[in-house]
Chains A and B, each alone.
Chain A
C-alpha cells in the first residue's frame, strides 16, 4: 500500500514529497534459485552409484598414496571391507566374520569363494562388464589376510583388484619429516 502525502506551504513553495510507508515487495528468490540450481547440477554430476559403493568408511584408516588409478568405466565392482575386527562383503554389506578367520577357517574361505564366484558370474553374464574387487582395508591389517582375499578373488575370476586409499601427493615428504623427528 502506498500513501503519498503531499503538502504545499502557504508561500507556494513546493515541499518535499515523501513516502509515509515503504512499499512491501515480495521476497526475490531468483538468485537463491540460481545458486541452488548450480549446486544441484554439481551434485548430480559427482554422484554415481559407484561412488555410493566405494564411500569412505569412517572406521577404516586408509593408507595414503600419490597415485590414483581410475576405476574401469565398464566395471562390475564388488566391495570388500576389512576392519580391524570384522570383514564386510558385497554391496549388501554381509557380515563375514573376523579377518583372522580368512586364514584359520577353511570353511569360511570356501564360503567367501562361493559368494565371490557367484558375484563374478553375475557381473560377467548379466552386466557384461569387467570383474573388479574393491578392497577397503585398514592400514593395520596384516598382508596375510590381503593375500588370502586376493587369492580367493582371482580364483573366483576377478580380473582387477582395486585397493582403496586416500590420495595425498605429499605423504612421502610428511613421512620423511616424521622420520627425521
Chain B
C-alpha cells in the first residue's frame, strides 16, 4: 500500500461517495426498548392518599382520636356510621360531625349512599370558622366500605384538613 501526503489522502477521501450512517442497529435497539418501556408504563395513573403516623402516638386508636399524628387542640370528628350501627341503634346509615362546642350534626345517607355533597358543604363551613385548623379525625365503623372511607378522607384534604387521624369505632376480636 502506497503512502500519500496528508493533502493527497484528504483528496482521495473526498472523492469517495458520501456514506449514510448505518441506522439499522440503533433502530433495532429502539424497537426493542420502546415496547418494553411501554409495557411497564402505567396508563391509569394511580393517585395516593397519605396518612402520616410518624408524629403522633402511632397506630389506630379505637373509639377516640388517634392514628395520623399531631396534636388536637380543636377536635373535629367525622363518624362514618355503618349498617351494623344503624341496625343496633334503629337508625339509618350516614355520617355524624362532632365538633367541640357544637351539637353533633347528622348527615343521613340518601337512598343508601353517603351524602358527600352535604359533607363537603359542612367541611367548608367548619373551614370558614376555623381557618388554621388542620387536624380532623375520621372514625370509621367496621362494616363501612374502604371506598367510602377514602372519599371522606379526600374531602377532608380538599377542604384543607391535611392531618387526617384514622380511628376505628370498636374492635370485635382480641
| A interface SS class | mixed
With both beta carbons as reference points, the residue of chain B lying nearest to A28 in the complex is identified as B20
CB within 8 Å of A: which of B61-81? 67, 80
CB within 8 Å of A: which of B120-142? 120, 140-142
With both beta carbons as reference points, the residue of chain B lying nearest to A171 in the complex is identified as B151
Is the C-beta of B100 less than 8 angstroms from some C-beta in chain A? no
Pairs A–B under 8 Å by Cβ, sample size 8: A36-B27, A56-B43, A61-B147, A139-B145, A143-B168, A147-B142, A155-B59, A166-B47
CB within 8 Å of B: which of A50-68? 51-52, 54-56, 61-68
Determine if A164 and B60 form an interchain contact, defined as CB atoms under 8 angstroms apart: no
Determine if B145 and A140 form an interchain contact, defined as CB atoms under 8 angstroms apart: yes
In the complex the two chains form, what is the Cα distance from A179 to B31 in whole Å?
A: 49
**What sequence of 0s and 1s flags, for each residue 107-151 of chain A, a beta carbon within 8 Å of any chain B beta carbon?**
000000000000000000000001000101111111111110011
The range of chain A's interface size is: 35 or more
Name the contact of A40 in the complex, choosing from B23, B37, B47 (C-beta under 8 A). Answer: B37
Determine if A165 and B142 form an interchain contact, defined as CB atoms under 8 angstroms apart: no
Task: Report the minimum CB–CB distance from B15 to chain A (whole Å).
Answer: 20
**What sequence of 0s and 1s flags, for each residue 140-176 of chain A, a beta carbon within 8 Å of any chain B beta carbon?**
1111111100110011001111111111000110011
**What sequence of 0s and 1s flags, for each residue 49-65 of chain B, a beta carbon within 8 Å of any chain A beta carbon?**
11111100011100000
Task: Report the minimum CB–CB distance from A84 to chain B (whole Å).
Answer: 11
Determine if B147 and A70 form an interchain contact, defined as CB atoms under 8 angstroms apart: no
Determine if A143 and B154 form an interchain contact, defined as CB atoms under 8 angstroms apart: no
Is the C-beta of A71 less than 8 angstroms from some C-beta in chain B? yes
In the complex the two chains form, what is the Cα distance from A172 to B113 in whole Å?
A: 13
In the complex the two chains form, what is the Cα distance from A70 to B147 in whole Å?
A: 20
Is the C-beta of A43 less than 8 angstroms from some C-beta in chain B? yes
- The 3 A-B residue pairs with the shortest CB-CB distance in the complex, in nearest-first order: A139-B147, A159-B54, A167-B47
In the complex the two chains form, what is the Cα distance from A47 to B41 in whole Å?
A: 6
Chain A residues, Cβ within 8 Å of B149: 143, 146
Determine if A176 and B117 form an interchain contact, defined as CB atoms under 8 angstroms apart: yes
**What sequence of 0s and 1s flags, for each residue 6-20 of chain B, a beta carbon within 8 Å of any chain A beta carbon?**
000000000000001
